[in-house]
Structure 1
Amino acid sequence: MPWLVLGLWIAVLAIASPFASQLADVQRDRAVDYLPVNADSTQVAEIQDRLPGGEATEMVVVYHRDGGLTAADKATAAEQIDRIAGAHTLTGTPQGVPSKDGTTVMYPVASTEPGQDEDARDALVGDVRDVAKGGDGLSVEVGGEAALLTDSREVYQSLDGPLLYTTVAVVALLLIIIYRSPFLWLVPLAVAGVANYLSMAVAYGLNRWFDTPVSGAGSGIMTILVFGAGTDYALLLVSRYREELRRIERPYDAMVAALRGCGPAVLASSGTVAAGLLCLLAADLNSTRGMGPLGTVGVLCALAAMLILLPAILVLLGRRVFWPLVPRYGSTPKARRSLFTAMGSSAGRRPLAVLAGGLVLLGALALGTLNLPGSLKQQDSFTSKPDSVAAMETLAAAFPERGTRPLTVVTPTGRADATLTEVRQTRGVDSAERGRSGDGWTELAVIADSPPQSAGETATIESLRDRLDGSYVGGTSAEQLDLKDTSGRDRMVVVPIVLLSVLLILVALLRSLVAPLLLVAAVVAVWGAALGIGGLVFGPVFGFEGTDPGLGLLSFVFLVALGVDYGIFLMHRMREECLNGAEPVAAALTALRTTGGVIASAGLVLAATFAVLTNMPLVQLVELGFVIAVGVLLDTFLVRTYLVTSASVALGRRVWWPGRLSRAPEPPVPPKEPERVAVSAH
């Protein structure tokens, strides 16, 4: 049987191989791939695709000299812009806009050559950068939306290799420490690699068949989940398998017993994560909604590999895979007082005091959310400073009194002149010009009199949207505003759905209402505390200028779904002990003693895999990885070990209400003495 399973997996990988290698080809990181489905800015981007030439590629070439531009500098700028215009088809003749202090001149450059082709867009930006060169004190930078997108895409494309290699290295190191074996760590790591490869093929299939969006961030999170969640499942299975090998002689029979023992918990755990991630489909934000299916694919592929392929390989390798700590048949592990036994004892002696202290600590940490920086601006989304960000900073300093990135208004062609007049009369508009027309629409380029993504420009965007009935307002700043607004809406919609779905799964698994409510309340408290710690370090320590609008929702979904995992491992073992006749307090302490080490190991691995994101060059990934890693550690070493155990001890049988375990067993009825029958003497 194990050989058959291994052969089937080899066949599956052979079929999946051509598809997995094509996932990078369908990855899209355009602005429209991240925008809300029904937002104004999304409508603008889609209409621009239908205009002559398709979506415009907009850049701005910035020439700057600290002491003021010289005549030679201006001549150099004009000559380079002419060369760019001669080599490419631009939507108009670029006109230089000088700053009041004479230090800077900017040339807006737009072309429809690339259309929706991201490679062509990147090539165009590269060509412009090759031509626009400075020297001898003259700095030349290429910014604008197209340059920002090109720099972002370069970052996302660079993630795949380093993210995978770093994740594998971190997991390998932790498994070596946990297993203390020169061979055993290789098995779950290799199986996780197989699961990751399979998930890439499935994700590609979903994109081809159902048009599921694949972004750089989404595919990166999928890899993290495969290795993090998959290794967690492997740790639980291997721990139970080692335990069964001491009781059962044949490895095959021991594995069957291990799967029967921990299989339901692993299935419920993965089901909870998958259900939580699928709730992201209710989000209106394209990037958030697309992350749901990708994350679900990663978790389910990890589950399949760890419950089917990993057991087959372990059985084939036999006991020797555990060398040098081989679990001998009939042996007993050395009895020693573990850390989790000590933790359980303290929680058992004074459960209410421990519970109150933990809640106060989590509440105090959650206050850090008040210190979270404001919404992240597009130019602040890199941990380093690419050329496009440097250009935006130069423009912000040189043109503090006006916008440097145009807003885009698309309006029905029949009303174009009237709309243009109304736009120019709108408060906050510096200038407006007519652009392309086609497919019944006309494009207007609008310059605000406030800096990009400032309160003044936001007010201008909102005024235009209020006044221009039947028209749409887009552009980079409008996109960022829509991202922020829609993230708030998505939180209000997705969070209740996630809580309800997770709660229903827990109720079905634990046959209780109190225990599921306890676990859900615990993970919500962890989320608040982890986000609060982020508020304490993002600005003061990391120097981040803002918080990604989607951080709250994504961190909530991941922490609730993944955090409940450990609660399931603990409570399922507690319930198993109760079913075997143990009293509630003893069951809680036994569950902590037997699963504490596995939960700690799993938590360390999962936290470390998400911590890999903190080494990435994008602020939103660093913030997400930090909050989830910190939350998992809090959940593992504080909430599961102390708070859930203390609450279970304090509640006693009531933790299983209204299930049958909440009722004290009826005392055994003593057997009736046989009636004595008088025998008459004859």
Structure 2
Amino acid sequence: MLALWVGVLAVAVPLSGRLGDVQRDGVVDYLPNSADSTQVARVQAELPGGQSTDLVLVYHRDGGLTAADRATATAQTAEIARTHRLTGAAPTAVPSADGSTLMYPVSSTEPGQDTTARSDYVDGIRSIATGGHGLTVKVGGPGALDTDSGEVYDALGGPLLYTTVLVVAVLLILIYRSPMLWLVPLISAGAADVLSMAVTYGLNRAFGVTVSGQSSGVMTILVFGVGTDYALLLVARYREELRRTARPYDAMRAALRKAAPAVLASAGTVAAGMLCLLAADLNSSRGMGPTAAVGVLGALLAMTTLLPALLVVLGRRVFWPLIPAHGSTPKERRGAFTAIGRAVSRRPVAVLAGGLVLLGALAVGTLHLPGGLKQQDMFSSRPDSIAAMEIVGTAYPDRGAQPIAVVAPAARAAAAQDAARATHGVTGVRPGRTADGWSEFFVTTAAPPQSAAETAVIKDLRGTLHGSYVGGTSAQQIDLRSADRRDRAVVVPLTLAAVLLVLVLLLRALVAPLVLVAAVIAVWGAALGIGGLVFGPLFGFGGTDPGLPLLSFVFLVALGVDYGIFLMHRMREESLGGSPPSSATLGALRSTGGVITSAGVVLAATFSVLLNMPLVQLAELGFVIAVGVLLDTFLVRTFLVTSASLLLRRHIWWPGPLGASARGGA
């Protein structure tokens, strides 16, 4: 097995290194597939020169621009016009009413579609447009914002991987208290990550699966988080079997036989939930589905093949200094989970009711979630493009700083432009390029970007310009919110059905799966509610990512069920061994409590790494998932599922064989 993995990694390592080459973080890669704004971006890419890169140069001085400032702006914009191939005439200044700011719209098709070329183009503009001595010069606009976003995503890979590995390593050292053992799961998770990246690269080349910075980053976190969970469960079983069996090989065979059903069901549940994202219209969500599923399955493969092989080769000494000797028995201790089980068994109704009330109260916090995340609020830091937008928003309160892009059939372009001019709120129409039966033009409004007034103009244009597509930065945000509502209506039921089906097949019952699914839904609502209470006041986030409810639901339902699976599978095993329902429930809690708690802490810690990332949407997703996993680990699995199992007794296994004897005993 080790030789096989060496061969696999020899092939996978060079392929995994190419994943960054196919990672795309352009506008189209995050937009809804069928939206107007997506069609505009695609048509623009086919026009002469490709999709244009639209910038806004902003010259600002508090207290008012001087004559020297204006001369500097004129000279710099003239140099830009000489050194770059711009669309239309030379940049023309748009002064603010208070005299503090000059704004120069700049558009060019020079860089085309290549991401690196666009980034170099923006950097070139920024190297020319410079200030000093009190003059602030910023380069903003959609092109600059895309470049800043791309640079952030490109920089995620290294820090995200290193931080995740460090967090997992520290936790494993604390859990195992061994100088050697912690390395084995970490090495296995690293191999799984390399394999997953290589497979994802293959899926991109073979089937065109979208790979974004967001999806590849989440895949790495899943590999290390979920893989470590599986390792903790398997190592705990292996340690038990080493006390009963002389040979490590035989002990591992027994451990795999007993742990494999729960691990397989866990991986199957998560993978099935992730693949439900393929039904999403949002390109970024749809692309995350297969990449996340590949990560989970890669972790499953490594932890059920490579990890066991390494442990068997290293033998008992890998547990040093706490080596489980053959024939020994672990010290009997009044552990925390024994005490918790006894306390819950005395008042199961009160525990269940109290837990549900607490989760319901936390879920009320969803009413306090900040509004939709605007583009200027998407970074936790403040890049130049955001600073430019803030200056423009202050200096031009009654003017739209970014145009609305429209593509119309060439035969009806003139009529479309006339109709756009007649639309309420439109202040100007500027024609663009024409080719392949399409004409491009740009509409300016009197409304600030992403305001209610501008949204009304976009909706009016879409209702008026039949056969045309209306796009641009603000239209993209409208389409994102619309797609998210559609995706929730489609993906949420699919996810619930997929997870429920896997649970029914594993537990051979209906009531137990329903209990677990209901519990994780409650956890999702509570975690999102906590986010609503802290996003604005504590973290200072200016809005909520439209995709947060859907992505957090899919991840928390799929991942949260894991710990219920581990507990219920052990409970079913105890019941099949002849234990009465109450003993089986408390015995399962006692035997799995430590390992499941460790697994939950590790998974929550890996997702909390996203809080350090400079993108608000990743930080929000990481926070909600981490909080949800902790709620599931310490509250739901420990108290609510245990109390529900004690109350339902054998009915929890209805209508399976274990539930058939519900009438006959406690």
- For Structure 1 versus Structure 2, the TM-score category normalised by the shorter chain is over 0.9
Summarize the alignment of residues 245-394 of structure 1 with structure 2, pairs less than 5 Å apart: 245-394=242-391
Give the aligned partner of residue 463 of structure 1.
Answer: 460
Highest CA radius of gyration, 1 or 2? 1
CA separation in 2, counterparts of 1:92 and 1:33?
28
CA separation in 2, counterparts of 1:658 and 1:214?
43
Deviation at 1:666, TM superposition (A): 9.8
1:65-84 CA deviation, whole Å, 9 max, x = no partner? 11111222111111101111
1:7 aligns with 2:8: no
Give the aligned partner of residue 67 of structure 2.
Answer: 71
Deviation at 1:663, TM superposition (A): 2.5
1:628 aligns with 2:625: yes
Summarize the alignment of residues 198-277 of structure 1 with structure 2, pairs less than 5 Å apart: 198-277=195-274
CA separation in 2, counterparts of 1:430 and 1:355?
61
Give the aligned partner of residue 559 of structure 2.
Answer: 562
CA separation in 2, counterparts of 1:335 and 1:448?
75
**Out of 96, 100, 120, which is 2:97 matched to?**
100
Percent of residue pairs identical: 69
Deviates more, 1:224-233 or 1:66-75: 66-75
1:110 aligns with 2:70: no
Instruction: Give the residue type in structure 1 aligned to 2:109.
Output: T
Instruction: Give the residue type in structure 2 aligned to 1:45.
Output: A
Instruction: Give the residue type in structure 1 aligned to 2:27.
Output: A
Summarize the alignment of residues 493-508 of structure 1 with structure 2, pairs less than 5 Å apart: 493-508=490-505
Instruction: Give the residue type in structure 2 aligned to 1:448.
Output: T
| Equivalences, count | 664
**Out of 46, 53, 58, which is 1:50 matched to?**
46
1:179-230 CA deviation, whole Å, 9 max, x = no partner? 0101000000011001001111001000000000010010000000000000
Instruction: Give the residue type in structure 2 aligned to 1:268.
Output: A
CA separation in 2, counterparts of 1:458 and 1:654?
54
Contact between 1:237 and 1:258, CA under 8 Å: does it hold in 2? yes
1:259-284 CA deviation, whole Å, 9 max, x = no partner? 00010000000000000000000000
**Out of 133, 139, 155, which is 2:136 matched to?**
139
Deviation at 1:16, TM superposition (A): 1.3
Give the aligned partner of residue 406 of structure 2.
Answer: 409
1:586 aligns with 2:589: no
Q: What do you get for the CA RMSD once the two structures are aligned?
A: 1.0
CA separation in 1, counterparts of 2:9 and 2:175?
29
CA separation in 2, counterparts of 1:414 and 1:75?
43
**Out of 28, 31, 36, which is 2:27 matched to?**
31
1:140-197 CA deviation, whole Å, 9 max, x = no partner? 0000011111111111111111100000000000000000101000000011001001
Instruction: Give the residue type in structure 2 aligned to 1:123.
Output: D
1:15-54 CA deviation, whole Å, 9 max, x = no partner? 1122111000000000111000000000000000111101
**Out of 68, 86, 98, which is 1:90 matched to?**
86
**Out of 642, 648, 659, which is 1:651 matched to?**
648
**Out of 4, 17, 20, which is 1:21 matched to?**
17
Secondary structure of the structure 1 residue equivalent to 2:146: helix
Contact between 2:651 and 2:662, CA under 8 Å: does it hold in 1? no
Deviation at 1:646, TM superposition (A): 0.2
With over 3 angstroms needed to count, the CA separation of the structure-2 counterparts of 1:415 and 1:588, relative to structure 1, is same
Contact between 1:402 and 1:430, CA under 8 Å: does it hold in 2? no
Contact between 2:600 and 2:629, CA under 8 Å: does it hold in 1? yes
Instruction: Give the residue type in structure 2 aligned to 1:120.
Output: A
CA separation in 2, counterparts of 1:666 and 1:219?
51
CA separation in 1, counterparts of 2:505 and 2:17?
39
Contact between 1:59 and 1:145, CA under 8 Å: does it hold in 2? yes
Contact between 2:374 and 2:543, CA under 8 Å: does it hold in 1? yes
CA separation in 1, counterparts of 2:514 and 2:76?
66
Deviation at 1:115, TM superposition (A): 1.1
CA separation in 2, counterparts of 1:448 and 1:175?
57
Structure 1 residue runs of 4 or more that deviate by more than 2 Å after TM superposition: 663-668
Instruction: Give the residue type in structure 2 aligned to 1:393.
Output: E
CA separation in 2, counterparts of 1:617 and 1:8?
39
Instruction: Give the residue type in structure 2 aligned to 1:430.
Output: T
**Out of 424, 440, 444, which is 2:441 matched to?**
444
CA separation in 1, counterparts of 2:270 and 2:479?
28
1:514 aligns with 2:491: no
CA separation in 2, counterparts of 1:429 and 1:340?
66
1:557-577 CA deviation, whole Å, 9 max, x = no partner? 000000001010000000011
Give the aligned partner of residue 662 of structure 1.
Answer: 659
CA separation in 1, counterparts of 2:200 and 2:664?
56
Give the aligned partner of residue 679 of structure 1.
Answer: none
1:618 aligns with 2:598: no
Contact between 1:513 and 1:658, CA under 8 Å: does it hold in 2? yes
Secondary structure of the structure 2 residue equivalent to 1:29: coil
**Out of 135, 147, 151, which is 1:150 matched to?**
147
CA separation in 1, counterparts of 2:288 and 2:445?
34
Contact between 2:650 and 2:662, CA under 8 Å: does it hold in 1? no
CA separation in 1, counterparts of 2:46 and 2:214?
28
CA separation in 2, counterparts of 1:342 and 1:638?
15
Deviation at 1:667, TM superposition (A): 8.6
Give the aligned partner of residue 487 of structure 2.
Answer: 490
CA separation in 2, counterparts of 1:428 and 1:523?
47
1:362-416 CA deviation, whole Å, 9 max, x = no partner? 0000000000000000110000100000000000000110100011010011111
Instruction: Give the residue type in structure 1 aligned to 2:64.
Output: G
Contact between 1:132 and 1:140, CA under 8 Å: does it hold in 2? yes
CA separation in 2, counterparts of 1:23 and 1:630?
30
Instruction: Give the residue type in structure 2 aligned to 1:445.
Output: F
Secondary structure of the structure 2 residue equivalent to 1:663: helix
CA separation in 1, counterparts of 2:7 and 2:284?
33
CA separation in 2, counterparts of 1:666 and 1:612?
49
